[in-house]
Structure 1
Amino acid sequence: MLFRRLIGAISIAAALAMPALAQDKDLLATVKERGELVVGTEMQFPPFDFIENGKQTGFNADVFAEIGKHLGVKVKFIDLPWTNVLPGLEAGKFDMVAGPNTLTAARLEKYYFNLPISGGAISIMKLAKNTDFTSAEDIESRSFGAQRETVSAAKIREVGEGRNVTVRDYGDNNQAYADLVAGRLDGVVAQSTNLYHAAKLRDGMFEVLEPAIGPMAWFSYLGRKDENSLSLMKAVDEAILGMSRDGRMAEFQRKWFGMTLDLPETLPDPSI
């Protein structure tokens, strides 16, 4: 275990130490000249990005394969803990971020958000056998897990203020799911898309509670908000819009989420 942790730490350090990608000219031209779009992500975030049989899989892999075709380039993913992804983007370690990222007013001021590729509401998932916990409104004196530095973690702290709620931060949702199964948590808080996927994989073990504790939110890919990045981000928007209009996006949603969601063709105002 120590060896695996050491290798993981070395891999993260190496990724963050990579020379910054060129940002002194039009980024779309740079990507096409390089023949490769470099994308930062976290591969512990099913159903969007995860490793299966040693290979990256999930919604993002399918969507970015189509984005790569639209741009005429290969796509290279860099896998990092979520807490390192946005700093890596700002440092120029990759061209854009997969994620996906919840569209918020605060983030929109700092980053370029692509057109939404999915959406959901911040929700709570609990063990189905826990019959004492039947409503998302019944959070008094309970403990919850959420992924560190996410909108979900901030929301459960907000709604739990003054209600004796304990919130534990995790590196990824899978760690929180494990503690929920082990009885160390009453619930896990995340976007409903992720929670319904987890519940589907473990048929009958989990239950997503109603009502949601947060409003409907849109999920997007994002990039740097500078003049050099604008051409690339608009080209990615064109690819996403094309997939939405011809049914490919709905196909990927059905495959990975078990449902489809009508997507806006312009960037909506953030609800959070």
Structure 2
Amino acid sequence: MNMLLRTLLASVAGLVVSQACLAEDLLAKVKAGKQITVATEARYAPFEYVEGGKIVGYDVDLLQYVMAGALPGVKNKTLDLPFQGLLPGLDAKRFDMIIAAVTANRERVSKFAFTLPIAEATIGVLTRADSAGSIKAPADLNGKVAGAQIGSVQTDALKALDKKLKEAGGAGLKEIKEYVAYDEAYADLATGRLDAVAQSLSNLGPLMKSRPGVFAVLPQTIGPKSYFAWVARKDADSAALVKAMNEGIARANKDGTMKKLQMKWFGMSMDLPVDALPEPSM
């Protein structure tokens, strides 16, 4: 074999290897590297929070179950970031996925790939127990100060409620305060600097249990039924990883693991769609 032919064959072989590497999607890269890098906000109990120096919670347990089936032998590197930095960080490819309670709404679903639902995100209204006599329904929040997290669907729900109250002839909300983390909002509500906090019902049950006699939850929700899910980039590179995660979530839903984890962390179970994330209505 002459030198020219050898050089040509070597070039072709190199091109094939190069194309194979380029063809590797995110799931293949994660498996090959034995590590997935995910981001969360560890200030959103009981989904994820810090206890004893470790991030614990419902999402942590569910991810461990899903990874055991979908990514055996792969280690999980978790970045703890403010909620406001999760979606921009994912878009900038600073990590592989968001493993946190992110509400699926129209705007987010149009830009990112959401997994199957991992919990219900329907929004409730938290008040102080001592104001239960004067605030019995969302309509009683006219002239009141309400709070939620910056950049959250809950804040959007408060803005929608404010508009609805005004359209009905009321004064609307006096002010909507936005917080970096919900713990700050709960503290302000407990001390009287807020009259109400908009939060998902999934979070409110455990909070009520941990702070008996401090808070109350209105019987009516605000906004339509909605769901929490994990998030990935909406591109061909991430598609196989999202599919693997969905298969694990569906398995957890069908074999009872999800309900066991919900009882452990929320004190209640939720009936969630198994086959697809419903089209968001907000």
User: By the TM > 0.5 criterion, same fold?
Assistant: yes
2:162 is matched with 160
Aligned length: 251
Match status 1:196 vs 2:188? no
User: CA-to-partner distance for each residue in 1:71-100, whole Å, 9 max, x for gaps?
Assistant: 111212100001111111011111110121
Q: Which deviates the most, 217-226 or 256-265? A: 256-265
Note if contact 2:120-2:227 (Cα within 8 Å) is conserved in structure 1.
Answer: yes
Once the two structures are TM-superposed, the CA of residue 197 in structure 1 deviates from its matched residue by 1.8
Which amino acid is the alignment partner of residue 248 of structure 1? T
Determine which of 179, 202, 212 is the counterpart of 1:170.
Answer: 179
Task: State the shift of 1:267 in Å.
Answer: 2.0
**Post-superposition offset of 1:138:** 1.1
Partner residue in 2 for 1:207:
216
Cα distance change, pair 23–157 in 1 and its aligned pair in 2 (3 A): farther
SS in 1 for 2:260: helix
Determine if the alignment matches structure 1 residue 261 to structure 2 residue 270. Answer: yes
Aligned letter for 1:93?
Answer: R
Alpha-carbon distance in 1 for matches of 2:35, 2:66: 11
The alignment's C-alpha RMSD in Å is 1.5
Q: Aligned equivalents of 2:91 and 2:201: distance in 1?
A: 28
The structure where helix makes up a greater share of residues is: 2
Q: Normalized against structure 2, the TM-score is what? A: 0.86
The secondary structure found in structure 2 opposite 1:228 is helix
**Secondary structure at 2:121 match in 1:** strand
- Do the aligned partners of residues 24 and 156 (structure 1) sit closer, same or farther apart at CA in structure 2, a change above 3 Å counting? farther
What is the percentage of aligned positions where both structures have the same residue?
37
Q: Which runs of 5+ in 1 are unaligned?
A: 1-21
CA distance in 1, matches of 2:179, 2:22: 33
Is contact 1:122-1:190 (8 Å) kept? yes
1:30 match = 29
Structure 2: gaps (5+ residues)? 1-20
Per-residue deviation, 1:23: 9.2
2:225 to 204, 216, 226: 216
Question: 1:23, 1:91 → 2: CA distance?
Answer: 19
Secondary structure of 1:146 counterpart = strand
C-alpha displacement of 1:192: 1.2
1:95 and 2:105 are equivalent in the alignment: no
| Separation (CA, whole Å) in 2 of partners of 1:23 and 1:100 | 32
Task: Tell me which stretches of 4 or more aligned residues in structure 1 moved more than 2 Å.
Answer: 22-25, 161-164
Post-superposition Cα deviations, 1:201-224, rounded to whole Å, max 9, x if no partner, equal 111211111210111101110100
Residue 63 (structure 2) aligns with: 64
How many Å separate the matches in 2 of 1:187 and 1:23?
52
Deviation at 1:24, TM superposition (A): 7.5
Larger Rg: 2
Please, what TM-score do these two structures have when normalized by structure 1? 0.89
Do structure 1's residue 139 and structure 2's residue 141 form an aligned pair? yes
Q: Is the 8 A contact 1:89 1:97 kept in 2?
A: yes
